[in-house]
Each structure stands twice: as C-alpha cells, then as structure tokens.
Structure 1
Amino acid sequence: MSDAASRMQTALDEYAENIQRFKRGEITPDQFRPLRLGMGVYAQLAHVKNMQRIKVPGGRMTAAQLDAVAEVTERWALGLAHITTRQDIQLHHLEIEETVELQRVLAKADVTTVGACADTVRNVTASHLAGVVEDEVFDVTPHAHAITQYFLFHPHNRKLPRKFKIGLSGSTRDHAQIMINDLGLLARVTDAGRGFAVYVAGGLGSTPEMAHLWRDFVPERDVLAACDAVIRVFWRDGERKNRKKARIKFLLRKLGEAEFMKRLDDELAKVKAEEGAKIEAELDRYLGEYPNEEAPSSVPGGEAIGDAAFARWKRTNTIAQTQPGYRVVTVKLPLGDITAEQMRRLAALARGHGNGEVRTTNTQNFVMRFVPEGNLVALHRALSQIGLAEPDAGHITDIVACPGADYCSLAITKSMGVGARVREHLSEGGNRAEADDLVQQIGAFEIKISGCPNSCGQHHVADIGMTGLMVKGKDGVERPHYSLRVGGGCGPDAKIGDRLDGRVPEEETPKVIAAIARHYVQERAEGESFREFVARKGAGDIGRIGFAAATDVI
C-alpha cells in the first residue's frame, strides 16, 4: 500500500471510530462536528440526515470513478447526486453511519472526501477546458492535482481559521473563476519559462471581494511554495474568534493591502530558504505521477450530420479542440442534478465515445473531452435516450443554483425550486417557438441563484444573480423573495453585479427575468454583451423594465 493510500485508510478508520465515540456519548456534538466536516459530511436541515461532499480535484474523473460515485448514490443517496459550483459532487439524505462505508467504496476508486468541508483547503478547481482550447497557455490540471496532494494531510490543513479555496485557470477567460478564490493561479509563459500570476484574498459571501494581484509571475517550480506561504500567513494571522470575519479577505482588509502583501513576500522567502528544495521535489513527484490525458483509440474526424435537434445541440454544447478532429461536449444537467443510472450510462458513453473520462464544471455540468467528430451523432442519440441531451449549455436556461432550503440548514429559500420555475418559463413560455428563439438570440448568458447571502450559487458574478430572503407582508406572514443583481461576472475585468432596487416575490421572478432578457435582446448594440449593456443602460433602467413585469415588488 502506498503512503498516500495508507494515510487515507487511517483517516477513514479514525472517522469510523469518531462516529462510534459520538454515539456512545464520549464526545459532544460540538466536538464531533469538525471531525465529520473534515471528512466532508454536513448535517442536513433539521440535523436528522446528512450530506456527503465528494472532492473532484480539477474536475477530472475517470469512468471508473464515476461508476463508483453512481454506486454510492444508488445505495445510499436515494439515487440522486448534485454537482456544485466548486466541481464537487454532493449526496443527500444519508445516515451518519452510512457515510463510512460510502467513503470506503469511493476510496477504492481513488476518490476522496477528506477536506471537502471544514476549515480546510477545499476542492482545488481548474478550468474544464485546460489543455484542449487555443487560448489555454498550458494544462493546469496537473498542478491542481499537485496542490491537492500537497495540502491533503498538510499539518495546517483542517486547522485553518476558515475554509480556503484555490482555483487555477489557463487563460484570461478564467473558467475556474480565480478572481473569487482565496488563492487564484493564472497560467503564464514568459522568458523565464512557465509559471503563474498569483491572486489572493478573493471571495463572495455577504461582503464580496475580487482577488488582488500578489505576484505577476511565480516560476512553475515555486508554485507549491507560494501556495504554502499564503496558507501559513492565513493560519498564523487569520481571525479565530469571529468566524464571520475569518476568511483571508478580512485579513487583507484588516492589515491593508501593502502590509498583507509584505507578509506574503516574507513568508515565501522563509519557506523557500527553509524547505525550498524539499517542496520542489514534492512538486516534481506529484506532477510525475499525474496521468496524462489520452485521446481515444478511435480515429478522429468523420461526418457529424444529424437532424435539427442534433445541429442545435452541436452548436451550443460542443466546441472544437486544438487537437484536430476532436470536440469537447457539454452534458447539460438541469440545476446540477444527475441520477445514479445516468452517471452509470454516462461513464459507459465516456468509454465508448470519448477517452474514458469526464470533468465536472463550476456551472454544474459534465464535459466529455476528446470526442471524435464522427462520434457526435451517435453520442447525441445515446444522451437523448438517458435524458442528457438538452441543448443550450451556457445559455439562459443553463441555470446555476445552490441546493437551497430543500437540503441546506443555512438556506432561507428553495433556490432550486425557483430555478426550475425560471427554466420552465424561459424554455416553454406561452409559445415554445418564441421561447426557443429568445434563448438562442440571447446567446451565452448566466443566471445564478443563492438561497441565502452566503453565495454558494455565486449570484454576485452572474449576468443575473438572485439572492433569497424572507419578507414579511402586510398580513404579517413571511414569504420567499429574491433580490437581483445584474452585470456581474468573472474573466477579464471581473465584476460584482449591480443590485437592483427592489425585492421580488418568488413566484414573480420568472416574469422579471424574461422581461430583462427581452429588453436586452431588443435594445443591445451589435456585439454588446449583457455586462456591457448593463454598464451602458444602468441598473436603474434595467430594474424599471424588469420589475414592471411583476405585480408586487417591494
């Protein structure tokens, strides 16, 4: 057994014993809480069931790993899994004892839950297009693996002031949303070779902050040392009394940017002086063990001619790779949900029509890479048979939503429910052809919904973002409402969306969003993005048009 496998087995054994200690009353609920969170287990709703979060570093999964997740989903999670905005997979309705065997099944497939929750380095995310599109500088997923392995059993991990999120992007389009991470790495190549620009102290929640540039270039050999330096400063200087102020962005605000960056510089110099050679050797080992992604044995190219439904799906759900003859295929998951049987069938399709792998995305979808052009018609037909061939990935009906009050004890509103309402209204409307035309005219567009201000649905960085809250009516009864933001996004010139002045009853939100979408299509300049449209028109104008479609805006 390898050292990593041995440590994982020890962690699982300790977790199983901690559950028994808790049941015997040897440790209190407060003492048990960080122990289960450290293994990715949240108490769900009224604390009678549990949620298991599964880490997917860089979003990359083999078909065998997807089969393992399908197995545990079917056995213990009522057959339904949920993809998150951190490229994780979440399972719900679990008994605490069931999570032990569930984690053991996953561990056999080299899938981990260690650090998926708690005050840890959470799942390390990466662009799902890394290495296969022209504007990617280089494939950053091996580095996501290296960072994951380095911090998995790091002495400071699980003992941080708060959670810590790391993302890596290979292009300025920033598919991994590095600007809203505690630590973001952007691939660069200079005369000094490969490396990364390093951004720090980003994050959303009730007081969002875009990340700040710390180093314009860190050589590839120093990337783990740079990450470690940031973690050490956070571990040493971060807030430990008030959890609401414990994210690293608050440390930057407290110290001021200049002093904060100086502490990072000093710590990096110290790390390199004391452990630089050792950390470089670890990086080499982790990068060396990372399996290269391989093209399938089938010959690329060929014809891909199908019916109108196929043509629309190919246009909206596939893109050409830099590797000739292959395409990336987005498997659109309505609101991030997928059944165990669909996962099992998708794993088989990845073997038969792709390269035996899938990747999760922070838009709550799956992608298949290295799909030969000639396999697309057959793949589309097979996806249709299992309900996974919905077109318009990345469009206005491809809505991102946190689990909301259906699952989460922190949520205020049922964000997935309202997301379904918006999808139905935009997809069907009163006239299906008219609705389809609107969706296709708008093009790429993001709606993101959070059931509370914590922003797990990333509502701050969407074309239209929705935040759930309860509002008391004249009759004294509290009912779910949503506040809206417009014009946010990541990528170049990342921006927090502008808040509209008003709160919309849950049942009215689909009409408001449809009105804003139609206003954009009718009034936009040629080639104007929605973010540019908001900047030109102003949030006040957009709110006036949108809220006119509702009858009870507060």
Structure 2
Amino acid sequence: MYTLPSALKQEIGKYNELIKEYQSKKIDPKEFKAFRVPMGIYEQREDGTYMVRVRCSAGFISPAQLKRVAEIAQKYGSRLIHITTRQELQIQNLELQDTYHVLQDLYAIGLASRGGGGNTVRNIMASVDAGISNDEVFDVTPYNIALTNYLIAQPDSWTLPRKYKISFSGSDKDNAFAAFNDLGFVARVKDGQKGFKVYIGGSLGSQPMVGHVLFDFVPAGDILYVADAVKKLFSRYGNRRNKHKARLRFVFYKLGKEKVFELFNQIYDEIKQVKQLHFELPLLSPVSPTINLPVETPVDKSAFTLWEERYVTQQKQAGYVSILIPFEHGDVGPGIIKSLGEFLTPFGEDVVRFSMRQNIHLRNIPKQYTATVYNFLQGIGVDTAQSYILNSLVSCTGANTCRLGICLSKGASGRLREKLASSGLSLDRLNGIRINISGCPNSCGQQTNADIGFYGKVGRTDRMFPAYNVVAGAVIGNGNPQLAELVGSVSAWDMPDLTIDILRSYLNNKGTNHSFSDYFKAGGKEDIKNLCQEYSKIPDFKDDKNYYFDWGSDQIFSLAGKGTGECSAGLFDMIDVDYNTIRQSRDEIKGITDPNKAASLLAKIVTASSRMLLITKGVEPKDSAGIFDGFTERFIKAGLVSGKYSEVVNAVKNGDYAGLPSQKNLVFDLAADVIDLYENMDDSLQFPAEKEKEQPKEEVTNKVALKKDLRGVACPMNFVKTKIELSKLKSDDILEVLLDDGEPIENVPGSVKGEGHKILVQERIGNYWSVVIQKR
C-alpha cells in the first residue's frame, strides 16, 4: 500500500556488502550494527540469530502479500511469524546472510523493513477499525499511508536521536493511542473541513508522558508540515549522547512545554515558507464484487454462536462484518499465515489489519460468509473457543529472544492465561480489559497504557529473583488520557495469582458498566496496593525455590544471556527502586494529615535519596547506618550535594523523625537534588561536578595500568566497580579485573563490551577468571 523509497534498492545492496565485510572482519561490528538495525534487522538473544521487522502502515497488508511473507519465512527456515504491538510482522529466527535475501524478496512484493528499528521513523499506526467503525469521524488510513510515503522517502528520517513514533486515531476514543506517541493525530471535522487534533511528546517507555495538545485542530492538508517540523525539532534538540534520555519527551523535560512549542512554531513556519508539501490520498481497493466461495453452515452451531458474539463485529457498511482472529502472544506459524492469505484472496485487497493487541482483524467480509470463515479457522487450528480476554493478553517477546529482556514475559503471560481459564471468574464480563506485560522497563508491551500492566525487574532477597513492577488505571481517549500508575511490585511466581485477585476485586466492585479506570478511581487503586502488599513476602531460596525460576525456564534466574548492558540493567533497576520510592512517597504525603505518618514517609524519602546513588560509588552498605555514612562521605563531603542536608540525614540515621514534618521542603529539595544528579550522570557513572575536577591523566604505556580483584563481588556491583576503575584511565589504557566463575564472568564482559570497551583477554585461572580490558 505504501510506496517504496527510491533509495531502498541501493540500500539493500549496500547491506549485503556490509554483511560480507562484517563476516570477513573488515569492519567493526558496531559499524555493521549501526546500518543493520535501522534496516529493521535485529539480532535475537541467541548469537547469530536474527529477525526482520516488516513495515505494515496502519496495520495493512494485502492477502497476496500475506501469503508471500509466509512463503519467504518458509523459504529461509523460519518457523515463526510474530505480530507486534505496532501492527507489524516480524520474521523470526533467520541466519544473517538470509536476511539480505529476505529484504530482496520483500522488496519484490512492495514491502520493506527499513525503519523497523534504530533511530528512525517507525511504523505509523492507525485505528484497527479505521474505515469500518460507526464511531469514527472519518477514515484515517489514507492519511497514514500518505504520511508514511512522505517520511520514509526523506534521508533525515533515518538519522534521528532516537525512534520517532506516530499514530492516527479515527475518533476521540483514541483506540490507536495517539496521545501516547511522539506525534499523534486524532480525526476531527471543523466547519466541514477534515483535520486533526494533534498530540506531541507522548511515550510509554521509562519516565513515560502523555502527549501535550499541540493543535486542537489542524487542517488535514497540513499533516506533512506538522510531522516534518516535529522531526526537525527532535533532530535539533534531542539528546544524541545518552540513549536513555533521547526520546522526544526528554526535550520537554529539559526545556519545558512553552519553550518546545516556541521552537516547534519557528520550525513549522520555516518549513511552510520554503516548502510546498502536497500529497494525494491513496485509493483503497473496494470490496470484491464477486466471491467464488461456497456459503457454508457452521460445523458446530452452538460454538459458532458463542464465537460470533465474542469475535464478530458489524461494520458501518451494511452487510459486512469484521472478524478478530486471535494468536497467543502474536505468534503464528508461517503455514497458518500462508493458508490465511490464500483463503482471503477472493475477498479483495483491503481485508487484513494487524492490531496493537497482536491479533489479525479481518474486514469487509460479507455477512453470509461468517460461518465459512469460522469453519476455515477451525480447519487450520485457530483457537476459536476461548473467551476474548484469554486471547487479548499482550506480551513483548521478553527474555525469550530479546537481548534487553529481564523476565520471560511470554512465559508469565502463558501461565496467566492458563490460570485465568481455570479461575472460575466470569471471563466474558472482562472483555475489553487490557492486560499488558513487558519483560523489562522498556515499553514494547505497552504496559503504561493498560488497565493492568507489568514490567520486568530484578528482585533480591538472598539472591536475585524475577519480578515485575505493577501499574494500573490508564485512561484512554475522551480528551483525558492518563498513564497507568505504579501501584506495587510482585514476584514473577505470584504475578498470575495477583492478576486474578485484581480481576476478582474489579468484578465484585465494578457495578453496572463501570470501566476498569472507573473502578481504579473509586477505590480500586487502594485495593490493588493492598493486594500487592499481600504478595510482598518472598521466601529465601532454601525455603521455596519456585520464586527463583522464571515461567517457562528450568534454570535458576540470572541475567546470563542478556545482551548489551545486562549488568547496567541490573544497576539501573536497583537505582529505580529508590527513585520510585521517592516519587511514590512524595505523592502519598500530599494527603496525609497525621504527623507521625508524614514523618515516616519523609524518612523513607531521606533514606531512598541517601541510598539511591551509592551503587555508582561501589558502596554496599551493610546496615542502615552505612547508607547515611556512605552518602555523607561520598556525596555531601565530596561536594556533590549541599551540606545543608546533613541535618535531616543525621536525624533519620539516629531514628529521630519528629522534626521532619517541619523540614518537609528541605527533604523534598534533597530528593530533587539527588534525582538531578542521576539525570545528569554520564555513562562512566560520573557527575558534572566530578568532571569539572578531573585532572589530565598521565600518559602510560599499553600495559596493564590497573588491576582490580573483584572476586567475591556479586552482579551488578562487580560491573559498577569495573566502570569506576575504567573511569580512572585514559583511552586505550589497560585494566585487568579478576572475576568469579558463574554470573560474574557471564555478565560483566558483555556489559563492558556493550559500553564500547574492548576485551583483550578472557582467561580462566583455576576457579576464577582474568579479564583484560582496553578502555575505549
């Protein structure tokens, strides 16, 4: 449906040349990766295994293309096609050389993977029911395709500070989450003219944000100007140094809404003065006038009736229906996809859309063929008998294949599905409840716009265990979008049971036609917090080993096998515990009138603020006094934070909380200063004041300049201490570290390489390892 860029064929050829140079070690792996990822090709968790992400604007693909994608997957040995939460397809488990041939074959059928990854314009989403919904203002699909055609033809769409996500919704219900994208368009009509309400800066990742309303109405003909101006704003002012603060929302956090809007308007006016941007709306193929298929009766009348109630929707076009085809986790074999493409061909070109809940939605199916479709789905093995909620759980791929994954989110989702099916809950009353799971703090599973959401983290008792932060209560659409709120945490083992308890509480309290967000606001938030607290006790490993295994794994939980920066993930995960404690306690104290409760919350803030960044200094306090002593020594006396905070730090150290309510502003200032330090910390874990004090390092020869014995130091502290030692050296200096066998040697070298340093030697010496590192 979209038009392939003129430069794409040449870029595919260049990619093939780079594969050869990479395989013959003529280019640095980072140089190859920098080209490969923006082409939409990711390396999976297993070394040497890749996937190709196929752009499907508005979730559209023709039946013929669908069939050919399946054939391409089969041709190169892939047994898995994955539907993503951005309405795309992924061909999984490919050999590197085959990825080039896949790109060639996709090009031949009018599809591309360019922009499937990296710092690029990503797949542009649209309401899955665009063009067929009774509620829509107008069909946004043609505008989506037109904007796609424009942006993917621009060279600067591939060199942004970070990903640029765009979405179109057909009404204020915002079922394409326009308010949660970097740029979102919501269809409107004003004085008979088509146009859009425009959101800017939304995002669901770390430190998520609901988009600001940039325009209450902009004419439809101006969308190219708007998207181009936002792209140029992002390119000029986005953070290219720190990928963790590189999304568009961080420009708002840094400059503020008024300044960003001022800069946007300057760029917007500049573009309008120098460019004339016009576009033609693509014509969508009409439904097929003749369908040479038999009209069948259902093989099981009662089962068909129940399925029809759950999965079939009347379109606004009289006599036509939309049919949802569910796939658990969005995973489906190419054989099923091929059969589906063949079956749907007689129904015309505009028959398939991929949804953000990782399913396929058929459209423009004449109502008399509903049973024919049902019988076909039964015949190819699609599960048609389950309640909708069991087929609408969203999970990213997690640690199964993703190099950033912490938890096995698909395993957790699968176990939740099993437990829900046998829970005794009235599942059909839960239709529309959004449960989303991500395996790490990134938001590929879109947990922060869910009714109930989870994102993976590292929990700790006497050792690491898989766990999730719990968020809930997102509000979508109707002019009042809100992110889900953090309400607690839970072990991976207990997550399915907690979810069922939350749903039971919702059903018991929902009343008539109450949404989950209504329940959340009317007391559900406290119910969920209390339920999380009930699951907070984690037994030690010797008492119950179940908690230390992730769902679907027979290995004790660790970060081994995680890709770039897995120790960094553990490090920042630990920092985030205190960061979130500060945020939650600050919010909670607003409604507290009891001075004792207020004092207790303020003490929590002081403790979390004092502990939050100790790990960056390699400090592991043995007790609570060690937290405050370490903070005083490494941060107050070092001049990183003001000495004025010594009073409240010492008061909490000594258990003297009574005076804290009168010093609330001082406590809040302490927390704000610590958070500011964190947000300005560089990749070597240094803070601005430290960099100002740095002295030029003496020249040293290319021999081991430092040696550090880290035996007995656990992850991620061993990685932190390695970073601290590296920060003392100049570029090309050599550091030798000694690491224990097991998790330390499995994790630290990979994290060091992920930060750009070079591993020269990795050698076992008895029961430990010597790792020799050359600083970048």
The two structures have a TM-score, normalised by structure 1, of 0.92
Corresponding position: 1:292 with 2:285? yes
CA separation in 2, counterparts of 1:538 and 1:365? 29
Pair 539,5 (structure 1): closer, same or farther in 2 beyond 3 Å: closer
Between the two proteins, what is the percent identity of the paired residues? 32
- Three-state SS of the structure 1 residue aligned to 2:11 is helix
Shift of 1:37: 0.8
- Three-state SS of the structure 2 residue aligned to 1:157 is helix
Contact 2:451–2:474 under 8 Å retained in 1: yes
Shift of 1:125: 0.8
Contact 2:394–2:436 under 8 Å retained in 1: yes
Contact 1:392–1:398 under 8 Å retained in 2: no
User: In the alignment, what sits opposite 2:401?
Assistant: 407
- Three-state SS of the structure 2 residue aligned to 1:390 is coil
Shift of 1:355: 5.6
- Three-state SS of the structure 1 residue aligned to 2:7 is helix
Pair 534,4 (structure 1): closer, same or farther in 2 beyond 3 Å: closer
User: In the alignment, what sits opposite 1:351?
Assistant: 345
Pair 102,187 (structure 1): closer, same or farther in 2 beyond 3 Å: same
Q: Write out per-residue CA displacement over residues 445-484 of structure 1, whole angstroms, 9 at most, x where no aligned residue.
A: 111000000011011111110111121233x2x1211221
CA separation in 1, counterparts of 2:56 and 2:454? 27
CA separation in 2, counterparts of 1:259 and 1:202? 17
- Three-state SS of the structure 2 residue aligned to 1:504 is strand
- Three-state SS of the structure 2 residue aligned to 1:213 is strand
User: In the alignment, what sits opposite 2:238?
Assistant: 238
User: In the alignment, what sits opposite 2:511?
Assistant: 525
- Three-state SS of the structure 2 residue aligned to 1:156 is helix
Shift of 1:443: 2.5
Q: Write out per-residue CA displacement over residues 44-90 of structure 1, whole angstroms, 9 at most, x where no aligned residue.
A: 11532112111111101001110121012223353111111111112
- Three-state SS of the structure 1 residue aligned to 2:156 is coil
Q: Write out per-residue CA displacement over residues 29-51 of structure 1, whole angstroms, 9 at most, x where no aligned residue.
A: 11111200121011211532112
User: In the alignment, what sits opposite 2:481?
Assistant: 494
Contact 2:4–2:112 under 8 Å retained in 1: no
Contact 1:57–1:145 under 8 Å retained in 2: yes
Query: Within 5 Å, which residues of 2 pair with 1:47-446?
Result: 47-76=47-76, 78-191=78-191, 193-276=193-276, 279-280=277-278, 283-284=279-280, 287-288=281-282, 290-298=283-291, 307-352=301-346, 357-390=351-384, 395=389, 397-429=391-423, 434-435=424-425, 438-446=426-434
Shift of 1:401: 0.4
Query: Within 5 Å, which residues of 2 pair with 1:27-42?
Result: 27-42=27-42
Contact 2:55–2:112 under 8 Å retained in 1: yes
Give the AA of the match of 1:505: S
Give the AA of the match of 1:544: N
CA separation in 2, counterparts of 1:82 and 1:399? 14
CA separation in 1, counterparts of 2:360 and 2:330? 9
Pair 92,489 (structure 1): closer, same or farther in 2 beyond 3 Å: farther
Pair 339,299 (structure 1): closer, same or farther in 2 beyond 3 Å: closer
Contact 1:225–1:271 under 8 Å retained in 2: yes
CA separation in 2, counterparts of 1:227 and 1:79? 37
Shift of 1:533: 0.2
Contact 1:396–1:445 under 8 Å retained in 2: no
Pair 355,313 (structure 1): closer, same or farther in 2 beyond 3 Å: farther
CA separation in 2, counterparts of 1:416 and 1:451? 8
Q: Write out per-residue CA displacement over residues 192-231 of structure 1, whole angstroms, 9 at most, x where no aligned residue.
A: 6111111100001111000111011111111111111111
Shift of 1:415: 0.5
CA separation in 1, counterparts of 2:349 and 2:374? 16
User: In the alignment, what sits opposite 2:471?
Assistant: 485
Contact 2:286–2:348 under 8 Å retained in 1: no
Give the AA of the match of 2:420: L
CA separation in 1, counterparts of 2:388 and 2:196? 27
Pair 271,340 (structure 1): closer, same or farther in 2 beyond 3 Å: same
Contact 1:183–1:202 under 8 Å retained in 2: yes
User: In the alignment, what sits opposite 2:586?
Assistant: none
Moved more, 539-548 or 15-24: 539-548
Contact 2:327–2:391 under 8 Å retained in 1: no
Contact 1:380–1:389 under 8 Å retained in 2: no
Contact 1:38–1:115 under 8 Å retained in 2: yes
CA separation in 2, counterparts of 1:105 and 1:404? 28
Pair 393,347 (structure 1): closer, same or farther in 2 beyond 3 Å: farther
Contact 2:284–2:350 under 8 Å retained in 1: no
CA separation in 2, counterparts of 1:355 and 1:117? 27
Shift of 1:375: 0.7
User: In the alignment, what sits opposite 2:439?
Assistant: 451
Shift of 1:549: 7.0
Pair 371,3 (structure 1): closer, same or farther in 2 beyond 3 Å: closer
Pair 159,415 (structure 1): closer, same or farther in 2 beyond 3 Å: same
User: In the alignment, what sits opposite 2:583?
Assistant: none
CA-atom RMSD in angstroms: 2.3
Pair 331,550 (structure 1): closer, same or farther in 2 beyond 3 Å: farther
Q: Write out per-residue CA displacement over residues 260-303 of structure 1, whole angstroms, 9 at most, x where no aligned residue.
A: 11111121111111002xx11xx12xx24x44343553499x99
The two structures have a TM-score, normalised by structure 2, of 0.66
User: In the alignment, what sits opposite 2:450?
Assistant: 462
Shift of 1:514: 1.1
CA separation in 1, counterparts of 2:77 and 2:418? 26
Give the AA of the match of 1:450: S
CA separation in 2, counterparts of 1:214 and 1:207? 20
CA separation in 2, counterparts of 1:3 and 1:488? 36
- Three-state SS of the structure 2 residue aligned to 1:444 is coil
CA separation in 2, counterparts of 1:464 and 1:107? 39
User: In the alignment, what sits opposite 1:44?
Assistant: 44
Pair 550,423 (structure 1): closer, same or farther in 2 beyond 3 Å: farther
Structure with larger RCO (C-alpha < 8 A, sep 6+)? 1
Contact 2:320–2:364 under 8 Å retained in 1: yes
CA separation in 2, counterparts of 1:148 and 1:3? 8
Pair 105,222 (structure 1): closer, same or farther in 2 beyond 3 Å: same
Contact 1:162–1:243 under 8 Å retained in 2: yes
Shift of 1:390: 2.6
Contact 1:355–1:371 under 8 Å retained in 2: no
User: In the alignment, what sits opposite 2:492?
Assistant: 506
CA separation in 1, counterparts of 2:41 and 2:304? 40
Give the AA of the match of 1:497: A
Contact 1:83–1:89 under 8 Å retained in 2: yes
CA separation in 2, counterparts of 1:367 and 1:525? 31
Pair 275,303 (structure 1): closer, same or farther in 2 beyond 3 Å: same
Pair 259,423 (structure 1): closer, same or farther in 2 beyond 3 Å: same
Contact 1:317–1:393 under 8 Å retained in 2: no
Give the AA of the match of 1:54: V
